[in-house]
């Protein structure tokens, strides 16, 4: 088998492809011969050595990757969740983390599906408990998670405002069904957000970090919820390595939310990291079952994907870090 190995923290040069013996599953595990691998921003953070759960569960060396699609030893076409280890031609995972590949999806589309949709589903359904009359603001709405958030928000009858960072992403978010799209490269983000929803927002979903967190909280309506699931603006844009002075300054600048203020303003801040939810197999199974039902009903379309060979893993991560992509990137084995 082949896999991508990162022996120590660093830039793209740390993504090494190695040959190893084939894997052998143990009792309760499933061997998946991988054909496609979803690429997520978290994988880049793992490579940089900044992903805390990677340190807690694996350490060095490590193989990134949370999602794959392929075939089992008995020929079933499946999609599988991995807590790291997914950048490989074979994976072995608990059987509870293996699901039938949706009939309407290609291998590449299936590999791009679980992480972003599980992230969006947990944020909107487990944390926010959406109601049809809610108004949502989705940062990075053209990305993988952002696209899923827009789609699911509209499925639940909400008014959805998407935020993008460049003009070429606007149409994609409109096509997802967003009621409004703010291109912050050519418009004042918060001025536009106030005009669209003067009362504020019931839910704001923010993976930017220090760049927007403070004003996201300020633009919540009473009873509003700010959901934090990443800190992209603190990390490098295509450089491959953290700029440590900037990272330190951004850490200091990151808002600390006061419980007294939240109580008085009747606003909430919630945050999560999907990798820690692997401790709750019941939640993962419940969420994947609900998502697959939406897929079978035609409510969740196949995600847009751009494919790369496994040998081009560094280029895929570089493009993802630059923030210029739409939808999901996938490595094809």
Q: What is the 3-state secondary structure (H, E, C) of 77-92?
A: EEEEECCCCCCECEEE
The reported pLDDT for the residue numbered 68 is 98
Tokens 């999560």 belong to 272
pLDDT tens, residue by residue, 115-172: 999 999 999 999 999 999 999 999 999 989 999 999 999 999 999 999 999 999 999 9
- Would you tell me the crossing angle of helices 281-296 and 114-121 to the nearest 10 degrees? 100
| Distance separating alpha carbons of residues 319 and 238, to the nearest angstrom | 7
Sequence spans of domains, the chain: 2-113+302-332, 116-274
* Confidence band, pLDDT 50/70/90 cuts, at residue 70: very high
To which residue do tokens 């196949």 refer? 302
Is residue 4 within 8 Å of residue 13, measured between CB atoms? no
The residues near 271 (Cβ < 8 Å, ≥ 6 apart) are 227, 228, 229
| C-beta atoms surrounding 74 within 10 Å | 7
Half-sphere CA count of 188, side-chain side, radius 13 A: 7
- How is residue 113 annotated by DSSP? S
Beta strands per DSSP E along 177-233 = 180-183, 201-206, 220-228
Nearest to 231 by CA among 57, 51, 39: 51
Nearest-CA neighbor of 51 among 84, 80, 15? 84
d(CA 106, CA 108): 5
pLDDT confidence tier of residue 327, bands split at 50, 70 and 90 = confident
Omega within 30 of 0 (cis) for the link into 61: yes
What per-residue string of b and e applies to 284-300 under the rule 16 or more CB within 10 Å gives b? beebbeebbebbeeeeb
Specify the fold of 2-113+302-332.
Quinone Oxidoreductase; Chain A, domain 1 (3.90.180)
pLDDT of residue 233: 85
- Structure-block tokens of residue 17: 């492809």
pTM of the model: 0.94
Supply the pLDDT for residue 281: 87
In 3D space, the residue among 249, 253, 211 whose CA is nearest the CA of residue 230 turns out to be 211
pLDDT of 222? 96
Q: What is the pLDDT of residue 24?
A: 97
> How many alpha carbons lie under 13 Å from residue 220 in its C-beta half-sphere?
25
Q: What is the pLDDT of residue 279?
A: 86
Return mean pLDDT, the chain.
95
Compute the distance between CA of residue 37 and CA of residue 80 in angstroms, rounded to an integer.
Answer: 10
Q: Which residues pair with 180 in a beta bridge?
A: 161
Torsion sign across C-alpha atoms 163, 169, 174, 177: negative
Cβ contacts of residue 68 below 8 Å, gap of 6+?
A: 32, 34, 36, 37, 38, 79, 80, 82, 86, 88, 91, 111
Task: Just give the CATH number of 116-274.
Answer: 3.40.50.720
200-221 tens-digit pLDDT? 999 999 999 999 999 999 999 9
For 45, phi then psi, to 5°, come to -65, -35
Q: What confidence category does residue 232 fall into, taking pLDDT thresholds of 50, 70 and 90?
A: confident
Strand locations in 41-141 (E): 67-72, 77-81, 90-94, 98-100, 135-138
How much is the average pLDDT of 220-247? 87
């Amino acid at each position: 088998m082949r896999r991508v190995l990162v022996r120590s923290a660093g830039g793209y040069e740390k993504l090494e492809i190695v040959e190893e013996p084939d894997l052998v599953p143990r009792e309760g595990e499933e061997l998946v011969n991988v054909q496609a691998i979803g690429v997520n921003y978290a994988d880049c953070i793992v490579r940089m050595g900044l992903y805390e759960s990677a340190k807690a569960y694996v350490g060095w060396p490590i193989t990134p990757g949370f999602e794959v699609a392929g075939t089992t030893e008995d020929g079933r076409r499946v999609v599988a969740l991995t807590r790291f280890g997914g950048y490989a031609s074979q994976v072995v995972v608990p059987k509870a983390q293996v699901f039938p590949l949706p009939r309407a999806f290609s291998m590449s589309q299936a590999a791009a599906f679980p992480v972003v949709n599980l992230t969006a589903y947990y944020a909107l359904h487990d944390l926010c408990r959406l109601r049809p009359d809610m108004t949502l603001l989705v940062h990075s709405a053209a990305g993988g998670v952002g696209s899923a958030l827009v789609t699911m928000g509209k499925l639940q009858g909400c008014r959805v405002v998407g935020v993008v960072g460049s003009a070429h992403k606007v149409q994609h978010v409109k096509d997802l069904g967003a009621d409004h799209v703010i291109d912050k490269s050519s418009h004042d983000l918060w001025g536009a957000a106030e005009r669209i929803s003067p009362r504020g927002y019931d839910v704001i979903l923010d993976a930017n970090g220090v760049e927007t967190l403070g004003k996201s909280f300020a633009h919540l309506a009473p009873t509003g919820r700010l959901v934090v699931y990443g800190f992209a603006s603190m990390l490098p844009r295509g450089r491959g390595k953290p700029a440590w002075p900037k990272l330190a300054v951004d850490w200091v600048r990151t808002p600390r939310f006061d419980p007294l203020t939240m109580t008085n303003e009747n606003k909430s801040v919630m945050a999560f990291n999907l990798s820690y939810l692997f401790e709750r197999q019941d939640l993962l199974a419940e969420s994947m079952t609900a998502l697959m039902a939406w897929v079978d009903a035609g409510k969740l379309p196949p995600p847009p994907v751009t494919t790369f060979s496994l040998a081009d893993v560094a280029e895929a991560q570089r493009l993802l870090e630059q923030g210029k992509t739409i939808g999901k990137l996938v490595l094809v084995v």
